[in-house]
Chain A
Amino acid sequence: DAKTTQPTSMDCAEGRAANLPCNHSTISGNEYVYWYRQIHSQGPQYIIHGLKNNETNEMASLIITEDRKSSTLILPHATLRDTAVYYCIVQGGSEKLVFGKGTKLTVNP
C-alpha cells in the first residue's frame, strides 16, 4: 500500500501557483519523497525528490516539513499543460516504487 495520502483532486488558475500537499506521517529516516506526474495516460514523468531539505529545479519546488511528515509540491506558474495526475511517493533503499492514486490537478484558463 502507498505510504502517502493526497487529495483526490485540485483546481488551479492558469498562471497561479499550484500547491499540492502530501502526508507521509510514517516516513522513516532513510526514505526520500519523490514526485511524479502523469499527463493523460502517458508514462509517468519524474518531477523532483528530496530527503529533508527543500529542493528546487526547473519544474517545481519541494517543501518538506521539519518533522518530514508532510510535504508540498509547488508549481510556481501553472499552465494548462500542467494538468495531470501528480503522485507523491515515499521510498528508500531497495524498496519498490509504490504509486497510489495521486492528485488530479486541473489547471483552468
Chain B
Amino acid sequence: NAGVTQTPKFRILKIGQSMTLQCAQDMNHNYMYWYRQDPGMGLKLIYYSVGAGITDKGEVPNGYNVSRSTTEDFPLRLELAAPSQTSVYFCASSYLGQGAGEQYFGPGTRLTVT
C-alpha cells in the first residue's frame, strides 16, 4: 500500500491565485483530514470528512474548501491565496473516528504565498 499520498510536494503561489492540494489514500479509510502546520507550531485541523459526500469544518477553515466525492480522495482548495496561508499542509486518514484510532499522515505539501 502507498498509504496517504499528497501532491504537489512544493508550490509557490502569488497572492490571489488559487490551487488544489491533492490527497489520496489506498487503505479504504472512511475518515480523512487536512491540517496545516506553521513554523515551530503544532498542527491545526482545517477540514475533515467522515465519508464520501460528508465534510465538516475544523479549527481553521477560512480561506479553504474541500470535497469528498470518493472514499480515496480528499482535495483541499485554496481560493484567493494570501500570505497567511504559507504553511505546510498535511493530509491524514483513519479507519475509526478521531477519538478511537490512529491517524496516518501523508508527507506534506509545502506552500509559499508571496
Whether A associates with B in a native complex is yes
Residues of A at the B interface (CB closer than 8 Å) are 2, 30-32, 34, 41-46, 49, 87, 91-102
Most buried by A among B33, B35, B100, B102: B102
Interface majority SS (helix, strand, loop, mixed), chain A: loop
Give the shortest distance, in Å, between A92 (CB) and chain B (any CB): 4
With contact pairs A43-B92, A44-B90 given, residues A2 and B104 touching in the complex (Cβ less than 8 Å): no
Q: Which of B14-22, B39-47, B66-74, B75-83 contacts A (4 or more CB under 8 A)?
A: B39-47
Do residues A97 and B98 form an inter-chain contact, with CB atoms below 8 A?
yes
Chain A CB within 8 A of B51 CB: no
* B: interface residue count bin: 20 to 34
Instruction: Check A102/B42 contact, CB under 8 A, given A41-B108, A42-B108, A94-B99.
Output: yes
Q: Give bound CA distance, A100 to B44, whole Å.
A: 9
Q: In the complex, which residues of chain B have a beta carbon less than 8 angstroms from the beta carbon of A95? A: 98-99
Q: Considering the chains assembled together, what is the distance between the CA atoms of A41 and B35 in angstroms?
A: 13
In whole Å, how far is B34's beta carbon from the nearest beta carbon of chain A? 12
